[in-house]
Chain A
């Protein structure tokens, strides 16, 4: 009898394990069901906003939150949209701490059955980490700052076509702008490049390094970690006759510390050149440093109003997130035209986005990979003595 009970328990255990395993192999079926679940749109439609609200990248993350919510506020304020209000649920991805936070946010969005589309996440490594959660849930997500080139090639970092879109030019566009400015405007011949070992940073550093070396510039490459605070030994390695240091990082406080330590080491004459990830006026404030950042249309009324409301601080890093919100809200509205929508319908509507004008200064449409069709190029800014960023090219 006892043997029978043991055998029965074993059999039950094996069956449970087998069913769990079968369940996991059936996940593609669940993918489609999650994406095709009908949501009654009603008067309020829900979208997600994944951004680093706290953490070392909070300075840029909050710019994204404010710009995205600014669009939603403008949308909700229009009389025509009285019965199609948008509700934003924010998720804090804490970029620079651990990509696990981005995955956690993605999973919480995925489990919210009312949520139809997502703005974000911010970092390329966050996009890579959270892709499976978004895909499994059938959610389309539009980032306003993930610029790594390989995110959209369909194989290097995984395939996310039809799910992932971005309203920002990729690093393939940013690297030439940076390299051109260094060689043609600044006439630099000796450049030091330091990446922060993250996917975003390495991709951009590789791109700039390749172009500079092809043009005969002496390039020395090094790297730091996003956890580093003491750069004194790295700085000691940098020759005094170096003309510029390229730091395509994401953590503006870290760049500020690096600049301070560079100055403390008596090498303050060497110019720093950052990327869009460091576009944080008031946080990174080493006067005279350069930074490349997204294009925008300064004459657009929405931009003017925002700048006025923020006392002259345009917080331009968040600007593409405004467009990302515009894309997601537009797609949700289109999908909800018959009163009901599925996440799959929203994704299809995102892919068919056709904004004839945008605050970026050009029309926004997507190609199959999720990239924008013919985006404008990056701008170059210089940090002023009061910590503001002035566009110089």
Chain B
């Protein structure tokens, strides 16, 4: 066992211990005791975390290859949800769909992913590529500018009214009760979200590990100039990375609309921040880390909402981010950066 793997397992065992301690408190000591409640919150958290994970994947891919924090990514997710809503409306709306629901939902995902992917390409081409060799602060400012540009464009195009997917009319309220009628309720839609997120992440892992594009991505991530000298076109690889990351965000946007119904032009800000947190907690640059971080952020948010009164979940989530950064600056599955001297 090499030292990095050992260190990673050490981090995860610390995390596992913390989770067991929390579980004991939640089930036996908290005012709202019981396993059913705990598992219900856990299921809710995993569903929410799957969405964060999909957003985090985009952050982590772009950071991995460009060392750029793409703050516009949350707004790409927002645009994805609006594209999905547009497809839904064009095809008859949630109450009277013109085509079978399964086909409609598939169309929403495909078009939203394509649209978001193309948007990601455009952002990379016009906002980041010209700044490729500029100091690192320049693309960061550019990213913030793109985020505001997208938010305000959405405001101009769609207005600031909330749009409702009415996902429950579309896909109904069906689900399963685990452990009897008063047991844990799992919506089929939630299962689809979790499975969808896992499948997309595995596909991404497969792409990065076993395809030529993936190898090129890793090469560019490791040494852009060296990769270029070996015949790889870094611009094309970076563009492909943006396309894939943005398409995943588009899928997350549609999933969010179907699950929680309401979408609006500022929804990307907080979701983007949570996705970024997930990427950092998991270890930015690591694909499994983004997934783990997303699920963790979702779980913590869900548990905080369930076990604490008021709305302190964001406080807890970002408090934990600070804690993780203090203890493990490179994240749970991240590797410390080596500096050439």
Which A residues form the contact surface with B (CB < 8 A)? 54-56, 58-59, 94, 97, 197, 221-225, 227-230, 232-234, 236-237, 240, 251, 253-254, 256-257, 260-261, 263-266, 268
Shortest Cβ distance from B169 into A: residue: A260
Q: Does B266 contact A (CB under 8 A)?
A: yes
A233 near B161: Cβ-Cβ < 8 Å: no
Known: A94-B160, A197-B311. A229 touches B41 (CB 8 A): no
Contacts of A229 in B (CB 8 A): 256, 260-262, 267
Interface residue from B37, B161, B185, B311 paired with A228 (Cβ < 8 Å): B311
A187 CB, nearest partner CB in chain B, Å: 24
B40 near A264: Cβ-Cβ < 8 Å: no
Shortest Cβ distance from A251 into B: residue: B162
Known: A222-B310, A230-B48, A233-B44. A257 touches B262 (CB 8 A): yes
- In the complex the two chains form, what is the Cα distance from A229 to B303 in whole Å? 16
Q: Does B136 contact A (CB under 8 A)?
A: no
B261 near A266: Cβ-Cβ < 8 Å: no
Known: A233-B302, A257-B260, A266-B177. A223 touches B161 (CB 8 A): no
Interface residue from A59, A223, A224, A257 paired with B261 (Cβ < 8 Å): A257
Interface residue from B187, B270, B306 paired with A264 (Cβ < 8 Å): B187
A-B contact pairs, 7 of them (CB 8 A): A54-B160, A56-B160, A232-B48, A233-B302, A234-B305, A236-B306, A256-B262
- In the complex the two chains form, what is the Cα distance from A222 to B266 in whole Å? 25
Known: A56-B264, A58-B160, A230-B260. 7 other contacts (CB 8 A): A54-B161, A228-B311, A229-B267, A233-B302, A234-B305, A260-B261, A265-B185
Shortest Cβ distance from B171 into A: residue: A264
Q: Does B159 contact A (CB under 8 A)?
A: yes
- In the complex the two chains form, what is the Cα distance from A72 to B234 in whole Å? 64
B305 near A233: Cβ-Cβ < 8 Å: yes
Interface size, chain B (Cβ < 8 Å)? 39
Task: Mark interface residues in B296-336 (1 if CB within 8 Å of A CB, else 0).
Answer: 00000111011001110000000000000000000000000
Known: A254-B262, A257-B262. A55 touches B168 (CB 8 A): no
Contacts of B311 in A (CB 8 A): 197, 223-225, 228
Contacts of A223 in B (CB 8 A): 309-311
Which B residues form the contact surface with A (CB < 8 A)? 32, 37, 40-41, 44-45, 47-48, 159-162, 164, 166-168, 173, 175, 177, 182, 185, 187, 256, 259-262, 264, 266-267, 270, 301-303, 305-306, 309-311
- In the complex the two chains form, what is the Cα distance from A115 to B295 in whole Å? 54
- In the complex the two chains form, what is the Cα distance from A54 to B185 in whole Å? 36
Most buried by B among A227, A236, A251: A236
B187 near A233: Cβ-Cβ < 8 Å: no
Shortest Cβ distance from B32 into A: residue: A237
Interface residue from A97, A227, A232, A265 paired with B302 (Cβ < 8 Å): A232
Contacts of A237 in B (CB 8 A): 32, 37, 306
A240 near B182: Cβ-Cβ < 8 Å: yes
Known: A94-B160, A221-B309, A230-B48. A263 touches B168 (CB 8 A): yes
Shortest Cβ distance from A236 into B: residue: B40
- In the complex the two chains form, what is the Cα distance from A251 to B160 in whole Å? 13
A97 near B160: Cβ-Cβ < 8 Å: yes
B129 CB, nearest partner CB in chain A, Å: 33
Contacts of B37 in A (CB 8 A): 236-237
A257 near B161: Cβ-Cβ < 8 Å: no
Contacts of B175 in A (CB 8 A): 264, 266
Contacts of A234 in B (CB 8 A): 305-306
- In the complex the two chains form, what is the Cα distance from A225 to B185 in whole Å? 24
A236 near B41: Cβ-Cβ < 8 Å: yes
B265 CB, nearest partner CB in chain A, Å: 9
Ordered nearest first, which 6 A-B pairs have the shortest CB separation?
A: A233-B305, A253-B162, A229-B260, A232-B44, A54-B160, A233-B306
B262 near A253: Cβ-Cβ < 8 Å: yes
Shortest Cβ distance from B260 into A: residue: A229
A56 near B261: Cβ-Cβ < 8 Å: no
- In the complex the two chains form, what is the Cα distance from A253 to B159 in whole Å? 15
Contacts of A232 in B (CB 8 A): 44, 47-48, 302
- In the complex the two chains form, what is the Cα distance from A253 to B260 in whole Å? 11
A56 CB, nearest partner CB in chain B, Å: 5
A219 CB, nearest partner CB in chain B, Å: 13
A257 near B164: Cβ-Cβ < 8 Å: yes
Shortest Cβ distance from A54 into B: residue: B160
B263 CB, nearest partner CB in chain A, Å: 8
Shortest Cβ distance from A227 into B: residue: B270
Contacts of B256 in A (CB 8 A): 229
Interface residue from A56, A233, A236, A268 paired with B162 (Cβ < 8 Å): A56
B35 CB, nearest partner CB in chain A, Å: 13
B151 CB, nearest partner CB in chain A, Å: 11
A198 CB, nearest partner CB in chain B, Å: 12
Shortest Cβ distance from B174 into A: residue: A264
- In the complex the two chains form, what is the Cα distance from A236 to B38 in whole Å? 9
Shortest Cβ distance from A221 into B: residue: B309
B53 CB, nearest partner CB in chain A, Å: 15
A91 CB, nearest partner CB in chain B, Å: 14
B159 CB, nearest partner CB in chain A, Å: 5
Contacts of B173 in A (CB 8 A): 263-264, 268
- In the complex the two chains form, what is the Cα distance from A223 to B187 in whole Å? 24
A233 near B185: Cβ-Cβ < 8 Å: no
A125 CB, nearest partner CB in chain B, Å: 16
- In the complex the two chains form, what is the Cα distance from A227 to B271 in whole Å? 11
- In the complex the two chains form, what is the Cα distance from A260 to B175 in whole Å? 14
A97 CB, nearest partner CB in chain B, Å: 6
- In the complex the two chains form, what is the Cα distance from A56 to B162 in whole Å? 5
Contacts of B261 in A (CB 8 A): 229, 256-257, 260
- In the complex the two chains form, what is the Cα distance from A249 to B198 in whole Å? 36
Contacts of A265 in B (CB 8 A): 185
Shortest Cβ distance from A55 into B: residue: B160
Most buried by A among B166, B256, B262, B266: B262
- In the complex the two chains form, what is the Cα distance from A27 to B177 in whole Å? 64
A236 near B44: Cβ-Cβ < 8 Å: yes
- In the complex the two chains form, what is the Cα distance from A251 to B306 in whole Å? 22
